[in-house]
Structure 1
Amino acid sequence: MLTTDGAVLAATPALQGQRAVYTLPPGSQAPVRQKAADTVVNGEVRVHGSRATVGGRPVTIITLTTTDLLSQVNETFARLLLVGVPCILLLACGTVWLVVGRALRPVERIRRSVTEITAADLSRRVPQPDTHDEIGDLARTMNDMLTRLDDSAARQRRFTADASHELRSPLAAIRTALEVGLAHPETAPWPEVARRAVRQSERLETLVHELLVLARSDDRQLVTRRRRVDLGELVEEVRANSAAPRVPVGIDRARTGVMVVGDAEHLSRMVRNVLDNAIRHARHAVQVSVLDAPPDQVRIEIADDGPGVPPEERERVFDRFVRLDASRERTSGSSGLGLAIAKEIATAHGGHITFDEAPDGGALVLITLPRTAAE
């Protein structure tokens, strides 16, 4: 503690009897070092000065703090950082490596399993952990995808095999008829041979056209043109343009127009395929009804009085190349694709088609379509 003229009023024991080592000039807040400090103050110090009034007398208070302890703390902390930070980084990296490696080990097993799965064998599945986290969801999703791919590949193989067989039959019939005629050219009934070849060619052309329709349906390109279609008029047109049926076909239309939005050509094909199937199996008559199905649907009902379809076969009958009575179907020239195409057309228009039992005990086909097909 100093007076205004620099005289020492009080000092710490280490500075007792010494002159002022620091002074605070008037109007300044920065203490000034004096020559007396050279003998008593060693090393670096921090100095702070302030003015105060004690007993009504203005005084100056100078405080000094050595920085040796702070330097020691800084040096010790720096040494600890130099040694501790690398150790902490190594420990953190090792922990992260172990944790991430353990977490990604199932992903590596999934990756190895996927690389071993080929198109020739889609029955294999990736290992599925019992956890309910993202990796478990990934494995379950991949197994579901593999199941769908396996089913699709199996259907494609069956379809290819059936299509090859169906195409081979008319080709073999044409070739056999021609070879027999060529073996006996003078006595062969060439008009009959030509008629048989024409019938088989027509059957072959129909089959190829049906296969192309199914191929477009698989590519989701079946319905490309949409317009308003009156189902009652469409059914009347299908009956009028068909060959004379072997049994009567009655049509019951709603008084007002039953309208849908879709491809008129494919809708006609759908009705014609189902109607031909009903006529082929009916004993005495076929009845077609076109009516509303509130709130926002329309329905075509085609009923026959034939033997009907067993309940266990009502789903399978829409599969491709399926014939419940193979011998009769082949004789009639059916390829087993008509109902499959009808189902694909109904699905492409946002509807569905099912089999049920008719009131007379025969088959009842229900075609349900939305009033406005899905865009």
Structure 2
Amino acid sequence: MVLGVAGLSVGLALGGVVLLVALGWSLQRTVDEEAFRTADAVARLAGEDALPDPLPVAGGQLRVQVVDSAGRIRAASIDADRLVPMVRPDQLAGDGRRRTVVPGQRLGWEGPVRVVAVPAQSAGEPLTVLVGRSTMDVRHATQAARTVLLVAFPLLVGLLAVVAWRVVGATLRPVEALRSGAAEITGRDAADRLPVPASQDEIHRLAVTLNDMLDRLEAARARQRSFLADAAHELRSPLTNMRTELEVAQRLGDRSDWPAVAADLLADTERLGRLVDDLLLLARLDEQPPQPAGHPREAGPVELGGLLAEVASRWPGPPVAADPASGPAAPATLGPAAPVTAVSGLPVAAAPVSGPPVIVTAASGPAWTVGVPDELRRVLGNLVDNAVRHTRTRVVLAVEPATDGPYHLVTVTDDGPGIPVADRERVFRRFARLDEGRARDAGGAGLGLAIVRELVRRGGGTIGLADAGPGLVVRLRLPVLPDPD
């Protein structure tokens, strides 16, 4: 505030100086114009050879003399000197209109006198009209303005300083409240919030924005605590199993079935490795900045039909070749029929087989998308793995190439218990599991769908869940490759 008042004082001082200079210049210009008007009038009389004696002058602030080239006075006003010109003869040399300043003693006045000279002509003889005008009134006006400014300037600066102190204090008081509130917030209490002023101004909006930021930070801390707790729990489970098996085997000694113990330890180690890989993948996805146009730099063209067939080949299922003479069969549907397998681009046929769920893929034509092949393979693998664990008879993979839209539609359908509508958003959270239908099982840690959503969002696509009647269908929309050629 001190700097503001100092700057304001400097500005007012410069403004006062400019005002005084402008006032003096304006008054001096008025004096010159008055003197030139009088001189021009007398010069016209001289040109008409009609100079009166004495010369008529309006007011007592002007004195007029008409002198010839030799410096003799030919005519003068009633109060002007008739023997000595207002200016010296050497100052009369030259042509044109001139102005000068002479001491007031030469005319019997105090202070400087403004004298203008205008050439005239009378009966072929060159003359010069001299008009003197006192500048004391200009000086008095300038001094009065200077006095007023010198008296008013300190008062004005003091008044402005008081107003600035009150206004700035009232403005910064909410800021100080925000600062003190921020200093008291420790980050441990979720109820800590900054005070919001009642005024609907920038400070109010700042407080609201800061409180929103605190809400987001608190939500992020809560997610981090939950994530760490879930991760610690998931990591502890296989480690506890491994330790228990080793302790039991140690107590039994030679009676232990070491091949069975090794198999159990290997299964727990694989589960632990998958969990660590999933956690590292999520950490990398969180750290990577958004890529331009929604696609990573490693993205390239991928044909979805072939990718579905590749992913489906990882799960058991007896492939059945269709009879070419019979023509294309109907698309695969869910129901009590026997599981079937169809490879992208081949017709679908059915056969009465038994065994584990069989992955069924169907494609109506080539569907090119842009993405990272490994990421798309991971997305489809997680979706199929999740569907296989919860289906009753089969899982159907299908792709519908885009016709007039910017996305291909990939569906993964199972006929399991499904997911309630209220829980379809929650299953995409990290370490999220449902208590019914899709409960905790030996293979999942609740990270598969979270990884799927992050990878799909990173690739510029969307994912959603819907009823399959019975079962669940995952609808995956992937961007169309702009130029498949």
Normalised TM-score (structure 2): 0.67
2:144 matched residue in structure 1: 76
- Shifted more, 226-235 versus 85-94: the winner is 85-94
Number of the residue aligned with 1:233:
306
2:241 aligned with 1:173? yes
Amino acid at match of 1:165: H
Match of 1:275 in 2: 384
2:463 maps to amino acid: I
**Residue number in structure 2 paired with 1:369:** 478
Share of identical aligned residues, percent? 37
Give the aligned partner of residue 9 of structure 1: 75
Q: Which amino acid aligns with 2:77?
A: A
- In structure 1, the residue matched to 2:194 is 126
Q: Identify the residue that residue 258 of structure 1 maps to in structure 2.
A: 367
1:190 aligned to which of 243, 255, 258: 258
Quick one: which amino acid aligns to residue 2 of structure 1?
V
SS at structure 1 position matched to 2:255: coil
Is there any run of 5+ residues in structure 2 with no aligned partner, and where?
A: 1-64, 291-295, 318-354
Written as runs of structure 1 = structure 2, the 5 A alignment for 1:304-319 is 304-319=414-429
Cα 1:352–1:156 change in 2 (3 A) is: same
Aligned AA for 2:470?
Answer: G
Q: Is 1:356 aligned to 2:356, yes or no?
A: no
| SS in structure 2 at match of 1:185 | helix
TM-superposed CA distance for 1:199, in Å, is 1.2
Q: Kindly provide the CA deviation profile for residues 301-353 of structure 1, in whole angstroms up to 9, marking residues without a partner as x.
A: 11111111111111111111112147974443211111111111111111111
Secondary structure of the residue aligned to 2:271 is helix
> Conserved in 2, the CA contact under 8 Å of 1:24 and 1:31?
no
Tell me, in whole angstroms, the C-alpha distance in 2 between the residues paired with 1:62 and 1:251. 115
**CA deviation vs aligned residue, 1:125-170 (integer Å, no higher than 9, x gap):** 3333455544344333323322222222211111110000010001
CA offsets, 1:93-149, max 9 Å, x none? 333333333333333333333333344345533333455544344333323322222
Q: CA deviation at 1:272?
A: 1.2
Amino acid at match of 1:281: H
2:444 matched to 1:334?
Answer: yes
CA contact (8 A) 1:278 1:304 kept: yes
For 2:302, what is the secondary structure of its paired residue? Answer: strand
On the 8 A contact 1:282/1:305 being kept in 2, the answer is: yes
Aligned partner of 1:237: which letter?
Answer: E
Which of 400, 425, 431 aligns to 1:291? It is 400
Distance 1:271 1:368 in 2: 12
Separation in 1, partners of 2:174, 2:481? 48
Aligned to 2:267, what secondary structure does the other structure show? Answer: helix
Amino acid at match of 2:418: G
Deviation string 1:213-251 (CA, Å, 9 cap, x unpaired) is 111121137956222111111111111123568212211
Which range is displaced more, 109-118 or 208-217?
A: 109-118
The residue type paired with residue 226 of structure 1 is A
Correspondence 1:149 to 2:220: no
Q: What corresponds to 2:34 in structure 1?
A: none
Q: 1:277 to 1:7 in 2, by over 3 A?
A: closer
Aligned residues: 367
CA RMSD of aligned residues (A): 3.2
Tell me, yes or no, if the aligned pair for 1:23 and 1:33 is still in contact at 8 Å. no
Cα offset, 1:15, TM superposition? 4.5
Counterpart residue identity of residue 310, structure 2: E
Q: Could you say if the C-alpha distance between residues 283 and 33 of structure 1 is closer, same or farther in structure 2, counting changes exceeding 3 Å? A: closer
Q: Is the 8 A contact 1:8 1:19 kept in 2?
A: no
TM-score (norm 1): 0.85
Question: CA 1:332 to 1:194, structure 2 compared with 1: closer, same or farther past 3 Å?
Answer: same
> Radius of gyration: which is bigger?
2
Unaligned runs of 5+ in 1: none
- Do the aligned partners of residues 265 and 9 (structure 1) sit closer, same or farther apart at CA in structure 2, a change above 3 Å counting? closer
- Please report how far the alpha carbon of residue 205 of structure 1 lies from its aligned counterpart in structure 2 after TM superposition: 0.8
Give the residue type in structure 2 aligned to 1:162.
D
Structure 1 distance, partners of 2:306, 2:312, is 10
Matches within 5 A, 1:32-111: 40-52=108-120, 60-111=128-179
Q: Tell me if structure 2 keeps the 8 A contact 1:30–1:48.
A: yes
Contact 1:231–1:290, Cα closer than 8 Å, also in 2: yes
* 1:234–1:118 distance in 2 versus 1, CA, 3 Å: farther
> What's the offset of the Cα at 1:69?
3.1
Q: Secondary structure at the match of 1:46?
A: strand
Question: CA contact under 8 A between 2:369 and 2:479: conserved in structure 1?
Answer: yes
